[in-house]
Every structure is written in structure tokens, then in C-alpha cells.
Amino acid sequence: MKASVFKTHERLQACPPALFIYIVYRRLVEQGIRTSWLWVKDKLVRRIRGYSPPELSQVTDLLFVGGQHRHHGLQAMRELGIRAIVNMRQEWDDAAHGLALDAYLWLPVIDDTEPTLEQLTRGAGFIHQQVEQGHGVYIHCAAGVGRAPTMAVAYLIYTGDPVERAWERVCQRRPFVRPTPPQQAITRAFAEKVRARQRLHPSPLGRQVSAGQEETRSNEEDLHDWLQRILEQLAEDPKITDPLPDAAAQTLLAWAQEQLIQLWNREKDQGTPASRQGMDSEVQSLRRRMQHLAALSATSDDPATALREILLSEQGENLAMAPPAAHTEALE
């Protein structure tokens, strides 16, 4: 929808009846009778059932996008497998009104404006975590036509969809969505952020899983997924990547990848099952070390060169201090 339409919305905010008539008129002109009827149907059914009906909200098996739900719809939502809520409304907190389910994330966004990249990242991660646990997620704003679809598209991008395909999937279920130009733009920016993250650390551990018994292989694959998530978290840490240009950030993340692989190897060499808890302290130490290296290198006129020199210097010191019998080979 054109930006001028939203300026008209702002002028009519003081007169709700006039605003409603204008919205209906614009929908009929831009989306036609059938799509406009589906929009009306969603509003009516939501008032009756207390949530947007699955035929107008269920984008995937576990992802639902709709308008504001109500108390009398909570039980039916649970029966659909929905266990988590993502609320995009700045003007309304579900938890304060007893409308939160087992898991709840509030990402307050002003109506007709776009979420921040940080909010999209946080929301996509939350949704992904819930879906991985088999929980349905209901993303909503007031009407489910702008802010909530934007968050749903970000999640689909996060899981691998191109921007256009993500919007297409949402619109197939909710053809009456009307994202603002800034909301569309932020999904493109989010897609670029996801691509940049993938360029910084493309599937570093996929080839590291060794063959063996099925149970051992399963444990290693679980650990592989966890380490992959660590790299993603490190890449999104502003204290690590923001102070550095892209080249230096890539160097630092590549170094972190090597450290994590060495951590993986140490756990295997000790003959004990690799556990998240056992490595948490080392991962946090690695994060703090990366933050320090980023801050130190950023003070140089050439951060990328300065960082490489620091890492090479540390590598030389570690080799000189290593005992002759130390097990130093990397996984092939």
C-alpha cells in the first residue's frame, strides 16, 4: 500500500467511524470484494471465537498469525496445539490482561510502524525454539494485517525462505494483510542480516561429525546443533561485531569456530559425553575474550590487520608453551 494512504490514516485517527469507512473503501478498491470479505470474516469470527480462525491464520502446522485474541478463545487455541504467544502490540500487554499462554513474548511495536531488527531477531529465535519443542505459536497484533505478518515473515526467513516466498506463504493464508512500506523494507533488511550471518559462519561443524554407533552419532549431532547456535549468538553480539568492519568480524568468528572445534575435540578425547553444562563456562570465557579482542582491534587504523597479528601472536605463544606430548591435531 502506498505511503500516502498511511498519512490519511493518521489524519483520520481522531474520528474512528470515518477511519473505518476509509479503510473499507481502500480495501475494496485495492483488494477487491472477496479479499475484503475475508478481512471482515476474520474480524467477525475473532469476536465470536476469541481468536483468528485457522483457515485465515495457520501459515504452517505450528505457526499462526492473527488479530488480538480474547479470553473465551484460549481453550480452543490450546486445543489447536498453540502454547506460545508473540504479541506485537505496543498498546496492549497480554500478560497484564491474563491472555498469555505457557510461553509469552511481548515485542511492543507502534501500529503501522515496523519492528526493529533486534525485535525480529529475538522473535524469530523465540518462535524457532517453541516450534522445535512442538509448540504452536500465535503471533498477533491488533488486526493481524501489519505487525504480526511482518514477524511471521521474519521467522520464515530465519528458517530459510527468501523474502518473496515468505510473504507469499503468509498472504496465501491471510490475503488481506496490508504491510506498510517500512514493514516490507525491514523484512528485506532482516533477510540481508540473516545472509550476512551465514556468510560469517557457514555451517562450520557439519563435516566434523564422525561415523560411529547410532546413539553416539545422535548425541554428536545434538552437540553440533548447539555449537552452531553458539556461533550464531556470537555473530549477533554487538560487542563482538559492531566495533569491527566485516573483514575483521569474519576473521574473529573464524577464530572462534576453531576454538569451538577444539572444545569439541577435548570433550571427545576425554572419553566423556559432551554436555552443554560442562562447556558453558568455557563458551562464556570465549565470548568475553572475543569482546576484548574486538575492542582492542577497533582502536587500530586497520582493525583487520591488527586482529590477525594479535591472533597469530597468541597462536605462536600457545605452540611454544604446549608440552611435546600434547594432542593437537584437529578433526579432519
Identify the weakest region by mean pLDDT among 44-53, 176-185, 271-280: 271-280
Mean pLDDT of the chain: 81
What's the average model confidence in pLDDT over 90-99? 95
**Rounded Cα gap, residues 39 and 4, in angstroms:** 22
CATH architecture assignment, domain 3-197? Alpha-Beta Complex (3.90)
pLDDT digits (tens, 9 = 90+) for 243-292: 888 778 878 887 887 788 777 777 666 655 445 555 777 888 888 999 99
Identify the weakest region by mean pLDDT among 20-29, 151-160, 220-229: 220-229
pLDDT digits (tens, 9 = 90+) for 53-94: 999 999 999 999 999 999 999 999 999 999 999 999 999 999
**Rounded Cα gap, residues 259 and 256, in angstroms:** 5
For residue 208, give the C-alpha cell: 566434523
pLDDT at 175 over 90: yes
> What does the pLDDT read at residue 205?
39
**Is residue 56 within 8 Å of residue 66, measured between CB atoms?**
yes
Domain assignments of the chain as residue spans, ordered by start: 3-197, 202-321
> What does the pLDDT read at residue 8?
55
pLDDT at 131 over 90: yes
Residue 220 half-sphere exposure, CB side, CA atoms within 13 Å? 20
